[in-house]
Amino acid sequence: MVVPKSRKARPAPEPARSRPVLLLFIAVAAVALLAYQPVWRGGLLWDDDAHLTASSLASWNGLWRIWTDYTATQQYYPVVNSAFWLMNRLWGHDPLGYHLVNILLHATSACLIAAVLRRWSVPGAALAAVIFALHPVHVESVAWITELKNTLSGAFYLGALACYLPFDERRSRRFYAASLALFVLALGSKTVTAALPAAILIVLWWLRGRLNWRQDVLPLVPFFAAGAVAGVGTAWLEATWVGASGEAFHLSWIERVLLAGRAVWFYAAKLAWPAPLIFTYPRWDVDQTVWWQYLFPAALALVLAACWAVRTRMRTPLGAVLFFCVTLGPALGFVNVYPFRFSYVADHFQYLASIGLIAPFAATLLWLARRRLPALPEAAVAALIAVPLFLLTFENSRKYVNAEVLYRATLAKNPDSLLARNNLAATLLDGPAEGWTEAMEHAGAAVRIDPNYAESHNNLGVAYQRMRQFEDAIKEHSEAIRLKPDLAQAHDNLAVAQAALGNLDEAVASWEASLRIYPDNAQTLSNLSRALMLRGRTDEAVSLARQAADVNPQSADLQMSLANTLQNAGLVAEAVRAYENAVRLRPDWGEAHFNMGMALQRLQRPADALAALQNAAGRLPDSARIQGTLASLLASMNRHDEAALHFELALQNAEDAEALPLHNEFGVTLIMLGRRDEAAAHFQAALQLDPAFAPAQANLQKLQNDASSGP
What pLDDT is attached to residue 711?
52
Task: Answer yes or no: is 658 within a domain.
Answer: yes
Contacts of 618 (CB under 8 A, 6+ apart): 590
Residues 186 and 313 in one domain: yes
Residues 388 and 532 in one domain: no
709: confidence class by pLDDT, cuts 50, 70, 90:
low
Residues 257 and 141 in one domain: yes
End position of a domain, from candidates 398, 418, 439? 398
Sign of CA dihedral 344, 350, 354, 355: negative
12: confidence class by pLDDT, cuts 50, 70, 90:
very low
Based on the number of CB atoms within 10 Å of its own CB, is 112 exposed (0-12), middle (13-18) or buried (19 or more)?
A: buried
pLDDT exceeds 90 at position 10:
no
**Whether the Cβ atoms of residue 40 and residue 143 lie closer than 8 Å to each other:** no
What pLDDT is attached to residue 20?
77
CATH number for position 711: 1.25.40.10
Task: Answer yes or no: is 497 within a domain.
Answer: no
Residues 593 and 656 in one domain: no
Task: Answer yes or no: is 502 within a domain.
Answer: no
CA distance 625 to 617: 9
Tell me the pLDDT of the chain averaged across its residues: 93
CB atoms within 10 A of CB 512: 15
> What is the average pLDDT across 340-365?
96
> What is the average pLDDT across 643-658?
89
Residues 537 and 592 in one domain: yes
pLDDT exceeds 50 at position 384:
yes
**Whether the Cβ atoms of residue 650 and residue 624 lie closer than 8 Å to each other:** yes
Boundaries of domain holding 164: 18-52+93-245+252-398
Q: What is the CA 483 to chain-centroid distance, rounded?
A: 25
Task: Answer yes or no: is 198 within a domain.
Answer: yes
pLDDT exceeds 70 at position 4:
no
Q: Is the peptide bond before 519 cis (omega within 30 degrees of 0)?
A: no
End position of a domain, from candidates 574, 605, 636? 605
Residues 581 and 670 in one domain: no
Residue type (1 letter), 379? A
> What is the average pLDDT across 509-522?
94
Task: Answer yes or no: is 106 within a domain.
Answer: yes
End position of a domain, from candidates 398, 421, 438? 398
b/e 208-218 (16+ beta carbons within 10 angstroms → b): beeeeeeebee
696: confidence class by pLDDT, cuts 50, 70, 90:
confident
CA distance 616 to 688: 30
Residues 565 and 704 in one domain: no
pLDDT exceeds 70 at position 518:
yes
Task: Answer yes or no: is 294 within a domain.
Answer: yes
Q: Which of 113-127, 273-287, 455-469, 659-673 is the least confident region?
A: 659-673
Residues 688 and 592 in one domain: no
pLDDT tens digits, residue range 264-278?
Answer: 999 999 999 999 999
Residues 675 and 551 in one domain: no
Residues 28 and 133 in one domain: yes
What pLDDT is attached to residue 653?
86
Quick one: DSSP state of residue 247?
A: G
**Whether the Cβ atoms of residue 448 and residue 424 lie closer than 8 Å to each other:** no
Residues 135 and 278 in one domain: yes
Residues 663 and 573 in one domain: no
5: confidence class by pLDDT, cuts 50, 70, 90:
very low
**Whether the Cβ atoms of residue 472 and residue 464 lie closer than 8 Å to each other:** yes
Q: Structurally, how many domains does the chain consist of?
A: 3
Task: Answer yes or no: is 711 within a domain.
Answer: yes
pTM of the predicted structure, to 2 decimals: 0.86
Residues in the chain: 711
Task: Answer yes or no: is 441 within a domain.
Answer: no
First to last CA, the chain: 116
What pLDDT is attached to residue 710?
56
Residue, of 470 and 74, whose pLDDT is higher: 470
What DSSP string describes 643-671? HHHHHHHHHHH--HHHHHHHHHHHHHHHH
